[in-house]
Structure 1
Amino acid sequence: MPKTPRTTTGARAVNTHRPEDERLGIGASFAYGFQHVLTMYGGIIAVPLIVGQAAGLSSADVGLLIAACLFMGGLATLLQTIGIPFFGSQLPLVQGVSFAGVATMVAILNGGGGLPTVFGAVIAASVIGLLITPVFSKIIRFFPPVVTGTVITVIGLSLMPVAANWAMGGNSKAPTYGSVGNIGLAAATLAIVLLLSKVGSSTISRLSILLAMIIGTVVATIFGMADFSKVATGPVFEFPTPFHFGLPVFDLAAIISMVIVILVTLVETSADILAVGSIIGTKVDSRRLGDGLRADMISSTVAPLFGSFTQSAFAQNVGLVAVTGVKSRFVVSAGGVILVLLGLLPVLGRVVAAVPTSVLGGAGLVLFGTVAASGIRTLSTVNYKNNMNLIIVATSIAFGMIPIAAPTFYDKFPSWFGTIFHSGISSAAIMAILLNVLFNHLKAGNPENPSVFAAGTDRHVTAEVLECLRHGDRCEDGKLVDADGKEIRVVDSPSTAH
């Protein structure tokens, strides 16, 4: 019996037939990888901008924070995609600074802690997260399609406000925010994505997001909506300096608040790992999930040494994998290399930063919508017959939409509660997991026909009726016809039909 060809990547034997192990060549890999960078660039620089401003840093120091976040995001992406023993899921996942910790870090700064206290809290909490990853890696059986499909759907929906904000201009304080020009540019970018996806070759279709961003930027430049004047301002090359902002300070209260953020990050990253596994059609077992989470935590532990923060998988790039169909993890690795270079070459980062936010918004509508559509596709495989799965999906999606529809919903709750449930992704994931355990694992007490909603999904045909159907009988235009095409009369009583 012939053996399946195998190869070794990062000291782990892998099956060469896994879709994520496809190699596209250096040129194609870097082209698609650059598309990933453009997709997440706005998100990865937003956190250092917010935290840097809250810390009262100068523009030069904020620039160093951004460079550090790009640099560490690239290294974390390489670890996640290529992998070494016990670290890295070897999946096409882009890593970057997590949004989950922004509110907590700003709260620490407002409390007088300073950046060294933020960095100390991130380091300590990430070490704790690293120690508890074996627990998270064992819960994969609690993530069936009814859970993963729900979470993937909410991931896409929760990113829609981000796309809308980008389309409006990104800066709510700018006089042009929400202008017809900004939204028109986003709409033009969206139209280009759709046009290239329809009329282009397979290669052009896969690169439609990147090409639309380039064309959109050119259009913006023509109409004076892009500003490249700052590209030449600042150093061309600069290596992130360790402890530039001082040695970490370990404050117990700050660490406890950051541990909550780490728990949220672990839940979100677990969802992203399972989501991308489902999208590309590859197996994600408990070991692989654990390796991915450990890569997240070790990257988050090291990041503060260079001036960065907690690392996690970027949901918007999961959408890019879905919309392009490019499943290769080496494409994302190429994106990781680009991120490292952007961190070392601030001038390149300034070029990418010059891409108008409205252009990103137009592309983001397709990307984030694709994530939601992937979740719906997963939910279509769920069995809703004589069970509570429909209630699980309905309640979890509704629960996940609360912080999206009403961002101030949890403002009166304790800060630790708000930190966890302010994320629609975390809210939906927690609710879906708990309800799945309650109804599908703890079945004691479940009624035979659990609810009117579950009963409503149970369409059936009795054996008696099925026996009455002769060979060739079929439905056409809502009518039952026989093999000769003659309509069979349908009556109210089954006995009359006999």
Structure 2
Amino acid sequence: MDEINQKLPISKLSVLGLQHVLILYFSSVSVPLIVGNALKLSTGEIAFLINASLLCAGIATLVQSIGFGKYVGLKMPVMQGMTLMASGALTAIATSYDIQTVFGAVIAAGVVCLVIGPVFSKLMPLFPNIVRGCVISVVGLTLIPVAVNWIAGTKDTELYGHPTNFLLALIVVAVIVVLNKFCTGFVKNIAVLIALCAGFAAALAMGRVDLSGVSQASWFGVTLPFHFGLPKFALTPIVSLSVVMLVIMAESIVIYLAIGEIVEHDTTEKDMSRGFIANGINVIFSGIFNSFVFTSFTQNIGLVALTKIKSRFTTAAGGVILILLGFFPKIATIVASIPSPVLGGVGIVVFATITASGIKTMMSADISKGDNSLIAALSIGVGLGSTLLKSAGAFAAFSPNIRIFLEDGVITGCITAVVLNLIFNGYREKEKK
């Protein structure tokens, strides 16, 4: 636990925190963009949603990383951000109702998480090492296609699949490899940040950075509660987003266990309960301050595994930076201008590192045992299969509430691993050393 609580110099924390922010930034701002466009909001209003989301994400990260007292906060190095998993439900609510109803559903989903969280934490015995390893591996493997899509670029544009996209990603990966091979200490720890800067510089030289929005963005902005009016509470939107919240909570079990494995801390039921309570509070706060549903980002878990920096104060520093970005839209716009192929290059390395961590955990459960080998094979196969079928649109015929489960490779892989482990190893598996 000493490494988790290690307090580094502010100069190092700032750089390490910025590294965490850049990893999650692109995904986190995507949700307000999607919902804002669905609501047909003006550019200024969408920019406000982005700033609100950054502010709330920063506060949520501080709550999870630092914690409050004995009952709130995971107190491990996790970053909180908007989850794309909720974008479908949020968009459906936005198009059928209005923005006040969206925020009402968000607040209600936060209450659901707050109330049910302690019960969810009791599912810990369902996740022995073989299940943890399988699901952590699935998390990494299902994220790799995301990084690949970032590298390819935006579909239906002239730059989709352009050779410079792959060149930018290659530059980023090469910088990370070189720094990890020839450097030590702090420089090695911030290899991802240096690679991002190198990729950004290369993109700038190629004319691939769009800074047109920077001049239009204001220097300073304040997010006030209920900016769009008091929230409205409608049953159908609340039920829909609450189902999404349950899926997020199920995925969070895996995320909390994964970060525990990486920082070498045995995640307990109490840790799990504190994490869920914090997430519920964060989501309620988010709805009040004009933002959406939170989750802990798996991308940043991969960064912890890659850098070997386990201090929770690094992600807390990232939370402070997110809050500052929420107050300074112009700076946030500059960060948003990082081309997706640059982020994709980082993503390939970071997401593959998560997969490697999962494999390491599976090995500790004696993967050579026939039953455990079958559990691993099927859970990974089902998880990847769901991800590929989602990309192909194969679940379109299912109802939205069922589709949200089927299209999430982490959830399908997790359910498969849990069920097979119960069949072969029972409720409490005797780990093989």
TM-score by length of 1: 0.83
RMSD over aligned Cα atoms: 1.6
Q: Distance in 1 between matches of 2:368 and 2:192?
A: 39
Say which of 302, 307, 310 aligns to 1:319: 302
Aligned: 1:190 with 2:143: no
Conserved 8 A contact 1:19-1:282? no
Describe the SS at the equivalent of 2:213.
Answer: coil
Q: Distance in 2 between matches of 1:232 and 1:38?
A: 21
Describe the SS at the equivalent of 1:21.
Answer: coil
Aligned to 1:272: 255
Aligned to 1:89: 74
Aligned: 1:138 with 2:138: no
- Which structure has the larger Rg? 1
Describe the SS at the equivalent of 1:96.
Answer: strand
**1:304-340 alpha-carbon deviations (Å, 9 max, x no partner):** 1111111110010000001111111001100000000
Count of aligned residue pairs for this structure pair? 426
Structure 2, unmatched stretches of 5+, are: 429-433
Aligned to 1:7: none
Aligned: 1:365 with 2:368: no
1:145-164 alignment to 2 at 5 Å? Answer: 145-164=129-148
Alpha carbons of 1:336 and 1:234: their partners in 2 closer, same or farther (altered >3 Å)? same
Say which of 370, 377, 386 aligns to 1:403: 386
Aligned to 2:54: 70
Conserved 8 A contact 1:185-1:358? yes
Aligned to 1:343: 326
Q: Distance in 1 between matches of 2:300 and 2:406?
A: 23
Q: Distance in 2 between matches of 1:316 and 1:302?
A: 24
Aligned: 1:257 with 2:240: yes
Q: Distance in 2 between matches of 1:113 and 1:435?
A: 42
Q: Distance in 1 between matches of 2:315 and 2:368?
A: 39
Q: Distance in 1 between matches of 2:228 and 2:324?
A: 22
1:46-125 alignment to 2 at 5 Å? Answer: 46-85=30-69, 86-110=71-95, 112-125=96-109
Give, in angstroms, the shift of residue 246 of structure 1: 2.1
The one-letter code of the counterpart of 1:129 is: C
Aligned to 1:446: none
Give, in angstroms, the shift of residue 430 of structure 1: 2.0
Say which of 253, 266, 291 aligns to 1:308: 291
Percent sequence identity is 38
Q: Distance in 1 between matches of 2:156 and 2:321?
A: 31
Alpha carbons of 1:31 and 1:392: their partners in 2 closer, same or farther (altered >3 Å)? same
Higher relative contact order structure (alpha carbons within 8 Å, sequence separation ≥ 6): 2
Give, in angstroms, the shift of residue 442 of structure 1: 5.7
Give, in angstroms, the shift of residue 440 of structure 1: 2.0
Give, in angstroms, the shift of residue 20 of structure 1: 0.8
Q: Distance in 2 between matches of 1:77 and 1:386?
A: 39
The one-letter code of the counterpart of 1:102 is: S
Describe the SS at the equivalent of 2:215.
Answer: coil
Structure 1, unmatched stretches of 5+, are: 1-16, 444-498
The one-letter code of the counterpart of 2:301 is: V
Aligned to 1:334: 317
Tell me which moved more, 369-378 or 136-145.
136-145
The one-letter code of the counterpart of 2:233 is: F
Tell me which moved more, 144-153 or 410-419.
410-419
The one-letter code of the counterpart of 2:399 is: P
Conserved 8 A contact 1:242-1:305? yes
Conserved 8 A contact 1:270-1:293? no
Tell me which moved more, 92-101 or 432-441.
432-441
Aligned to 1:482: none
Conserved 8 A contact 2:126-2:427? no
Q: Distance in 1 between matches of 2:171 and 2:120?
A: 43
Give, in angstroms, the shift of residue 424 of structure 1: 0.8
